[in-house]
Amino acid sequence: MAIVSGMHRISGAVLFLFLPLLLWLWQESLASQQSFAAFKSVVSHPLMKLVLLGLLWGYLHHLCAGIRHLALDLDLGTDLPAARVSSYVVLAVSIVLTLLAAVALW
């Protein structure tokens, strides 16, 4: 449970730190046809695909863990066995969603 909570904080910080890159990519994709071509060349690089896939997992993990934290704030699943199960569910769901997105986008 503590690992998932810590990963929630770390994923939020990493997403915040990579926000300038994501905003730049978004701006490049919308500015013009030439900038969209540059965007496509940057995003098609295998290393950038891995970085974006990692950021996607961070986002999905942060989202799932945030929903879990909201449920805990509502006093849902606060007993130890339920909290452990929800931690595993957060990890499993975020990984499965990331793999599905990777298959669809790669």
**Structural domains for the chain:** 2-105 (1.20.1300.10)
Nearest to 56 by CA among 103, 93, 97: 97
In the chain, the amino acid numbered 64 is C
pLDDT at 1 over 90: no
The alpha carbons of the chain give a radius of gyration, in whole angstroms, of 17
Global pTM?
Answer: 0.89
Dihedral, CA of residue 90, residue 12, residue 58 and residue 80, to nearest 10: -20
pLDDT at 106 over 90: no
pLDDT at 84 over 90: yes
Question: What length is written for the chain?
Answer: 106
For residue 1, give the H/E element and its range.
none
Cβ proximity of 68 and 90 under 8 Å: yes
For tokens 């060349």, name the residue: 41
